[in-house]
């Protein structure tokens, strides 16, 4: 056990020695400086290690050899060890990162840095309140100086504001300490707390409250609580990013620890006030962050928000409302420390402050990957620590009955996700606005190394926490391992990577599928099989496609994990993993910046709803698809049902919540679109399956809820089809179509009878086949033509006959015309709805499926039929791998069309005994209570008729002369150009006119309004930070008054 005194000795001693060393030998100072920091860090790690392994007890060090109150004592407990280790680690890394700049400024900057580190350590370690103040001052003064080190106006003014705010805080703190000392006669934190209690009811008690108020107020200022934090923003904004990183990560952490020590003194009444302050700060800072355009300031808001959240967690934990709050706090803290520092460091490397110009980083895949990683960590995506902390936090809050808190915390997180990923979007897709910073970003090796080190550490912590938190973590880790493994292949040819991914998916499927049954089997074979086919299609890629295959594999893996999950946490883990990976896939599209952001925000909102739903369901085990559960378990209540259903409705793009979907489906890369639309859209279906299994029909209000969801499904189906018919963009058309088709599935599931479920699952498979087919075929066409506007194509049947056949089969299947698979789904659906008594929904679904003919025809006509354009007259057939994948799907469609029983029978088995059996098979005929359908006979009759009639036509027809595209009867004229002869643009105008009343994009307008409103509020609130020191002081006082009122309320 090394005594912590060494920390101070090393820091102070080296600090004084540095100038001498510098004189003695050039460059020696840097080495010694880093060695000193390493020494400090080693000491703290040593404590942490010893405490963890139980090799030593909590250490109490008495500096002057006396016990308190006669001397200052330091404590090294578990918390202290964790915090000092983390802070020292970060500061060491930060020093490495900053070393060139520090040495450039001379030894004085290194001295300041050492003092800064020492101050933070002291803040964590000391148990003496005055000593705490001293260390705080040391930290503060060192950091003012560090901030102002740049010696430019911005840095100096920021340092000045920092100093003003810091001295205000000091004054109040000192006043508080004096009064407290006057009352209690001690400065030792532990004894103050115990003595304070005894003063209640005495005359001195009148002094206690103001004293405590002043103390807490001072610490709140140090914690940069809203709105007394304008100065801090200027600091983050103007300091060198390396310094900002340290202030954000280190000193904020130290301040948090200090307030953790102080709050017990203040007494229980203060916990609530602190928690409220913290969460208000969290929400407000993140809200204002929405409007930020500068990276430093944006990160500043994020830091302040995170501190607020941590304050909330700590105060509620101290209050005793949050079990296992330590874990939450430590997870959040470490996550914040590393991720935030990492992002600040990245800002330093790029040297670009405006987030719009962050396209500069796009050419450095490694840095971009790091950025994505930090973003994911900061927004609480798995497997990073914040994910587990947030999950535990929400779970505990719900079980503690703190629902309103959850709302605020999730709202704040949503804002944070929004602005962080807006930034990330600019980084990936933004490009550079003005040429001045257009050159490639170059980090020095040590800076890059530090960033990598931070990311690695974050991952390690994530791995550790994951092992602690989640059951069956090996299985859950598989997708990540696969993706990480693929990263090793990044240097290879894209085709090699594709084949490796394909092999990985196939091997994984081969390993797990035989051991499965029921719903997991269904969805897994569907996800993995479908994923494999789609991977095959991506093999045509010639471009570098950095990061594409890992993310694709991650998405397929997470989908599989989703279907395999057996607890709520596993489910949610896989769900978030899927969201993130698919977001990256969407973002890879050329014009995908805005759609991807929209996708992310909606997905995050949906995910939070799901999380809240899980939390409100309590400890209900969710997932695992209720294998072996006969019937419905019926263990959910109304609130969780609504929350979960709402969350899943976002994912399936139910009408009203669909605004993200057309863009995300359409703007992703062409082959990713196929995957996202045909496979990923089923994740929501899976969610509903699991939810409905869990919920059953027994709970209160179930009738209305199910019929509401049913109506949403039907309306989604209708509007999806209607909007699809009005699109000019082939992929948008298919995207809307997907939205509509998933509506049928939801409608079928919501019917809650055997036929409905068979219909939904059958239609899932069928939709995967035909929509995958269509998207792949369109991907091939877009790949060759370079446009997505259908009216620019035309007549491609002669050049791309294989793709044409795909599209034709696809639309026949899609439109539900017998004899192909689409009809089965429709037939089952109507039977289910009639069984349920939902006649109007059935009629609406029927109408939607006829509207589907409109866009089906349009797709095939505008692209393949009609007039060929001269620009495309030498175009080639789509790449072979795309065609191969399409023909696998066609074969599957044909097989299932010929013998629907080979698909429907297993699905009936999977749906199993949960419902009364309504469907029966007799030979090839499927009987429902209302009707019957013999797919085989229909196929045979149609084929026979077709063959016979074709032969007849061949016999009676004279040998036809093959003619070309202008050989048409054009009212005795000749067509002028193919462009003016191809009737494809605004094809269904009369339809649009007739339905103009209901075609107004109400949902889009609504969400636009919500977005604008949030931005407007953010913009308005932002103006309180005027940059004026006087204004900041006023704000601090206003904050004091507010805090006072709050504490009165809290104390009474």
Partner 1 sequence: MMEVLKQAGYSLATLMVVMNYGLLLVGLVTIIVARVHGRIGPPIWQPYINILKTLSMRTALSHGIMFYLGPVFRIVGGIGLLFFMPVVYGSSWMQNFSFAGDVILVVYFVFFGMLGMALGAAESGHPYSAIGIMRGLAQNTAAELPFALALMALAAQHQTLSITDIVAAQQGGIAHWNMITNPVATLAGMLAFFGMMMHSPFDVHLAPQEIPIGPPTEFHSSYLALMQTNRSIFHAAKLILFMNLFFGGATSIFVMVVKTFALLMVVVFAGVVFPRYRVEQSIRWFIRIPLAVGILAVVISAWK
Partner 2 sequence: MSDEIKKVNGIDEGFDEISEYFCDARPSPVSPSANRIVRNFQNWAQANSIFILGFGTGCGAIELRPLFTARYDVSRYGLFPRPTPRQSSLFIIGGYASIKTMKRIIRSYEQIQNPKFVMGLGSCTVNGGMYWDSYNTINRLDHYIPVDVYVAGCMPRPESLIAGFDRLKELIMEGKAEGANTYAENFDWYKNNQKKIIKNWNMPEYNW
Write the secondary structure of 423-469 as one string of H (helix), E (strand) and C (coil).
HHHHHHHHCCCCHHHCCCCCCCHHHHHHHHHHHHHHHHHHHHHHHHH
Write the secondary structure of 607-663 as one string of H (helix), E (strand) and C (coil).
HHHHHHHHHHCCCCCCCHHHCCCCCCCCCCCHHHHHHHHHHHHHHCCCCCCCCCHHH
Q: Does 541 bind partner 2 (CB under 8 A)?
A: no
CA dist 441 and 73 (Å) reads: 48
Task: Select the residue interacting with partner 2 from 50, 473, 965, 1021 (CB under 8 A).
Answer: 965
Pick one of partner 1, partner 2, none as the site partner of residue 578 (Cβ within 5 to 8 A by kind): none
Q: Does 963 bind partner 1 (CB under 8 A)?
A: yes
| Residue indicated by tokens 């009676």 | 956
- The kind and range of the H/E element at 596 are helix 593-616
Pick one of partner 1, partner 2, none as the site partner of residue 871 (Cβ within 5 to 8 A by kind): partner 2
Whichever of 107 and 815 has its CB closer to partner 1, that residue is 815
The residue count of the chain comes to 1052
Q: 150 to each of 109, 154, 162, 239, how far by Cα in Å?
A: 11, 9, 15, 7
Q: How far is the CB of 568 from partner 1 (least distance, A)?
A: 39
Q: How far is the CB of 875 from partner 1 (least distance, A)?
A: 16
- φ, ψ of residue 585 to 5 degrees: the values are -65, -40
Q: Does 713 bind partner 1 (CB under 8 A)?
A: no
Query: Which of the ranges 25-33, 78-86, 617-625, 976-984 carries the binding residues for partner 2, by CB under 8 A?
Result: 976-984
Q: Does 780 bind partner 2 (CB under 8 A)?
A: no
Instruction: Characterize 785-801 residue by residue with b for buried, 16 or more Cβ atoms within 10 angstroms of its Cβ, and e for exposed.
Output: beebbbbbbbbbbebbe
Task: Select the residue interacting with partner 1 from 130, 463, 783, 991 (CB under 8 A).
Answer: 991
Q: How far is the CB of 784 from partner 2 (least distance, A)?
A: 14
Task: Select the residue interacting with partner 1 from 49, 70, 507, 839 (CB under 8 A).
Answer: 839
Widest distance between CA atoms in the chain: 117
Q: How far is the CB of 983 from partner 2 (least distance, A)?
A: 17
Task: Select the residue interacting with partner 1 from 608, 827, 896, 1039 (CB under 8 A).
Answer: 827
Q: Is there a contact between 354 and 360 (Cβ–Cβ < 8 Å)? A: no
CA dist 1042 and 227 (Å) reads: 10
Q: Does 708 bind partner 1 (CB under 8 A)?
A: no
CA dist 380 and 876 (Å) reads: 46
Pick one of partner 2, partner 1, none as the site partner of residue 869 (Cβ within 5 to 8 A by kind): partner 2
Q: Is there a contact between 815 and 849 (Cβ–Cβ < 8 Å)? A: yes
Q: Is there a contact between 352 and 298 (Cβ–Cβ < 8 Å)? A: no
Task: Select the residue interacting with partner 2 from 383, 978, 1040, 1050 (CB under 8 A).
Answer: 978
Task: Select the residue interacting with partner 1 from 511, 994, 1016, 1019 (CB under 8 A).
Answer: 994
466: CB partners within 8 A, 6+ apart: 382, 383, 388, 473, 476, 477
Q: Is there a contact between 362 and 428 (Cβ–Cβ < 8 Å)? A: yes
Is-cis flag, bond preceding 819, omega within 30? yes
Q: Does 628 bind partner 1 (CB under 8 A)?
A: no
Q: How far is the CB of 988 from partner 2 (least distance, A)?
A: 24
Q: How far is the CB of 949 from partner 1 (least distance, A)?
A: 5
Pick one of partner 1, partner 2, none as the site partner of residue 538 (Cβ within 5 to 8 A by kind): none
Interaction residues for partner 1, span 888-927 (CB under 8 A): 925
Interaction residues for partner 2, span 333-362 (CB under 8 A): none
Task: Select the residue interacting with partner 2 from 434, 436, 916, 973 (CB under 8 A).
Answer: 973
* Per-position x/- string for 970-989, each x denoting binding to partner 1 as judged by CB under 8 A, each - no binding: xx---------xxxx--xx-
CA dist 291 and 616 (Å) reads: 32
Q: Does 999 bind partner 1 (CB under 8 A)?
A: no
Q: How far is the CB of 480 from partner 1 (least distance, A)?
A: 45
Q: Does 974 bind partner 2 (CB under 8 A)?
A: yes
Query: Which of the ranges 396-404, 530-538, 929-937, 1023-1031 carries the binding residues for partner 1, by CB under 8 A?
Result: 929-937
Query: For 75, which DSSP code?
Result: E
Task: Select the residue interacting with partner 1 from 496, 949, 1016, 1045 (CB under 8 A).
Answer: 949
CA dist 335 and 383 (Å) reads: 11
Query: Which of the ranges 43-51, 426-434, 711-719, 974-982 carries the binding residues for partner 2, by CB under 8 A?
Result: 974-982
Pick one of partner 1, partner 2, none as the site partner of residue 834 (Cβ within 5 to 8 A by kind): partner 1
Pick one of partner 2, partner 1, none as the site partner of residue 188 (Cβ within 5 to 8 A by kind): none
Q: Does 817 bind partner 1 (CB under 8 A)?
A: yes
Task: Select the residue interacting with partner 2 from 57, 913, 976, 1012 (CB under 8 A).
Answer: 976
Task: Select the residue interacting with partner 1 from 1, 9, 937, 1038 (CB under 8 A).
Answer: 937
Q: How far is the CB of 798 from partner 2 (least distance, A)?
A: 12
Query: Which of the ranges 498-506, 631-639, 899-907, 967-975 carries the binding residues for partner 2, by CB under 8 A?
Result: 967-975
- Bridge partners of residue 75, in order along the sequence: 60
Whichever of 339 and 797 has its CB closer to partner 2, that residue is 797
Q: How far is the CB of 946 from partner 1 (least distance, A)?
A: 5
CA dist 807 and 782 (Å) reads: 13
- φ, ψ of residue 970 to 5 degrees: the values are -110, 55
Q: How far is the CB of 978 from partner 2 (least distance, A)?
A: 8
Q: Does 1038 bind partner 1 (CB under 8 A)?
A: no
Interaction residues for partner 1, span 859-888 (CB under 8 A): 860-861, 865-868
Q: Is there a contact between 283 and 410 (Cβ–Cβ < 8 Å)? A: no
Phi/psi-derived region of residue 27, left when phi > 0, alpha when psi is between -120 and 50, beta in every other case: left
Pick one of partner 2, partner 1, none as the site partner of residue 979 (Cβ within 5 to 8 A by kind): partner 2
Write the secondary structure of 875-925 as one string of H (helix), E (strand) and C (coil).
CCCCCHHHHHHHHHHHHHHHHHHHCCHHHHHHHHHHHHHHCCCCCEEECCE
Angle at the Cα of 322 from the Cα atoms of 318 and 328, rounded to 5 degrees: 95
Short-list 291, 2, 283, CA closest to 1020: 291
CA dist 1037 and 665 (Å) reads: 50
Q: Does 953 bind partner 2 (CB under 8 A)?
A: no
Q: Does 711 bind partner 1 (CB under 8 A)?
A: no
Give the count of residues interacting with partner 1 (CB under 8 A). Answer: 80
* Per-position x/- string for 856-895, each x denoting binding to partner 2 as judged by CB under 8 A, each - no binding: -------------xxx-x----------------------
Task: Select the residue interacting with partner 1 from 347, 815, 881, 897 (CB under 8 A).
Answer: 815
Task: Select the residue interacting with partner 2 from 969, 1000, 1041, 1052 (CB under 8 A).
Answer: 969
Residues found near partner 2 in the complex (CB under 8 A): 869-871, 873, 958, 961-967, 969, 972-979
């Amino acid at each position: 056990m090394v005594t912590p005194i060494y920390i101070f000795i090393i820091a102070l001693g080296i600090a004084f020695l540095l100038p001498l060393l510098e004189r003695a030998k050039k460059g020696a100072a840097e080495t010694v400086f880093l060695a000193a920091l390493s020494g400090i860090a080693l000491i703290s790690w040593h404590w942490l290690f010893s405490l963890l392994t139980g090799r030593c007890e909590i250490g109490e060090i008495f500096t002057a050899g006396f016990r308190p109150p006669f001397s200052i004592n330091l404590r090294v407990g578990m918390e202290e060890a964790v915090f000092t280790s983390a802070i020292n680690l970060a500061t060491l890394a930060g020093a490495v990162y900053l070393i060139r700049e520090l040495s450039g400024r001379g030894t004085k900057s290194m001295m300041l840095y050492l003092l800064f580190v020492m101050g933070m350590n002291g803040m964590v370690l000391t148990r003496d309140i005055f000593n705490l103040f001293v260390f705080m001052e040391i930290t503060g003064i060192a950091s003012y100086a560090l901030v102002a080190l740049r010696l430019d106006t911005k840095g100096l003014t920021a340092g000045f504001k920092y100093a003003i705010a810091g001295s205000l805080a000091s004054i109040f703190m000192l006043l508080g300490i004096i009064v407290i000392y006057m009352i209690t006669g001690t400065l030792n934190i532990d004894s103050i707390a115990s003595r304070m209690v005894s003063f209640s009811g005495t005359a001195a008690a009148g002094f206690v409250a103001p004293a405590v108020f002043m103390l807490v107020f001072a610490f709140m200022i140090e914690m940069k609580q809203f709105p007394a934090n304008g100065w801090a923003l200027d600091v983050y904004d103007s300091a060198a990013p390396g310094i900002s990183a340290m202030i954000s990560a280190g000193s904020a952490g130290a301040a948090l620890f200090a307030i953790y020590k102080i709050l017990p003194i203040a007494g229980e009444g203060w916990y609530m006030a602190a928690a409220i302050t913290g969460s208000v700060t969290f929400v407000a800072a993140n809200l204002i962050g929405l409007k930020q355009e500068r990276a430093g300031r944006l990160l500043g808001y994020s830091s302040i928000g995170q501190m607020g959240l941590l304050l909330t967690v700590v105060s509620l934990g101290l209050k005793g409302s949050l079990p296992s709050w330590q874990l939450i706090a430590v997870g959040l803290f470490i996550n914040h420390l590393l991720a935030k520092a990492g992002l600040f460091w990245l800002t330093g490397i790029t040297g670009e402050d405006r987030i719009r110009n962050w396209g500069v980083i796009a050419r450095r895949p490694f840095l971009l990957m790091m950025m994505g990683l930090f973003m994911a960590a900061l927004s609480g995506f798995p497997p990073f620590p914040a994910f587990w902390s947030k999950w535990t936090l929400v779970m505990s809050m719900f079980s503690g009955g703190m629902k309103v808190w959850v709302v605020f915390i999730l709202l704040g997180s949503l804002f944070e996700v929004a602005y962080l990923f807006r930034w990330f979007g600019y980084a990936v897709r933004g490009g550079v606005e003005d040429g001045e910073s257009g050159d490639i970003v170059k980090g020095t090796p040590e800076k890059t190394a530090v960033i990598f080190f931070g990311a690695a550490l974050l991952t390690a912590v994530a791995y550790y926490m994951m092992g602690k938190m989640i059951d069956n973590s090996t299985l859950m880790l598989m997708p990540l391992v696969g993706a990480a493994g693929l990263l090793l292949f990044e240097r290879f040819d894209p085709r090699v990577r594709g084949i490796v991914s394909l092999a990985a998916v196939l091997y994984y499927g081969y390993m797990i599928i035989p051991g499965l049954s029921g719903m997991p089997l269904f969805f897994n074979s569907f996800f993995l099989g479908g994923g494999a086919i789609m991977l095959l299609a991506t093999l045509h890629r010639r471009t570098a496609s950095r990061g594409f295959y890992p993310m694709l594999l991650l998405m397929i893996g997470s989908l599989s994990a989703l279907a395999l999950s057996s607890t709520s946490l596993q489910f949610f883990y896989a769900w978030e993993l899927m969201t993130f990976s698919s977001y990256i896939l969407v973002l890879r599209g050329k014009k995908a910046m805005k759609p991807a952001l929209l996708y992310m925000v909606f997905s995050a909102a949906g995910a939070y709803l799901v999380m809240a739903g899980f939390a409100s369901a309590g400890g209900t085990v969710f997932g695992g698809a209720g294998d072996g559960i006969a019937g419905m378990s019926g263990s959910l209540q109304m609130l969780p049902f609504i929350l979960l259903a709402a969350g899943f409705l976002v994912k399936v793009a139910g009408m009203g919540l669909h605004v993200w979907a057309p863009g995300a489906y359409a703007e992703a890369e062409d082959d990713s679109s196929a995957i996202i639309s045909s496979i990923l859209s089923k994740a929501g279906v899976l969610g509903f399956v699991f939810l409905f299994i869990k919920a059953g029909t027994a709970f209160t209000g179930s009738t209305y809820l199910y019929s509401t969801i049913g109506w949403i499904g039907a309306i989604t189906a209708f509007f999806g089809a209607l909007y699809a018919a009005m699109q000019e963009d082939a992929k948008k058309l298919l995207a809307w179509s997907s939205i509509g088709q998933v509506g049928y599935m939801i409608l079928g599931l919501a019917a809650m009878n055997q036929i409905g479920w068979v219909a939904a699952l059958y239609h899932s498979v069928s939709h995967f086949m035909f929509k995958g087919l269509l998207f792949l075929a369109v991907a091939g066409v877009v790949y060759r033509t370079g446009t997505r506007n259908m009216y620019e194509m035309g007549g491609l049947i002669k050049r791309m006959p294989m793709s044409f056949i795909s599209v034709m089969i696809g639309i026949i299947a899609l439109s539900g015309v017998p004899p192909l698979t689409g009809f089965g789904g429709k037939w089952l659906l109507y039977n289910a709805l009639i069984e349920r008594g939902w006649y109007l929904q059935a009629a609406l679904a029927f109408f939607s499926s006829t509207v589907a003919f409109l866009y089906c025809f349009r797709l095939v006509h505008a692209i393949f039929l009609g007039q060929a354009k001269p620009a495309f007259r030498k175009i080639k057939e789509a790449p072979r791998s795309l065609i191969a994948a399409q023909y696998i799907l066609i074969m599957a469609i044909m097989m299932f069309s010929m013998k629907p029983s080979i698909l429907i029978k297993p699905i009936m088995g999977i749906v199993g005994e949960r419902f009364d059996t309504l469907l029966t098979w007799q030979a090839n005929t499927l009987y429902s209570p209302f009707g019957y359908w013999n797919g085989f006979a229909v196929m045979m009759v149609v084929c026979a008729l077709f063959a016979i009639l074709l032969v007849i036509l061949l016999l009676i027809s004279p040998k036809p002369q093959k003619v070309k595209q202008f050989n048409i009867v054009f009212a005795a004229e000749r067509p002028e150009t193919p462009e003016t002869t191809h009737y494809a643009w605004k094809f269904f105008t009369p339809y649009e006119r007739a339905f103009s009343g209901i075609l107004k994009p109400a949902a889009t307008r609504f969400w636009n309004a919500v977005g604008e409103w949030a931005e407007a509020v953010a913009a308005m609130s932002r103006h309180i930070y005027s940059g004026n020191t006087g204004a900041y002081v006023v704000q601090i006082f206003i904050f004091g008054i507010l805090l006072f009122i709050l504490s009165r309320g809290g104390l009474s």
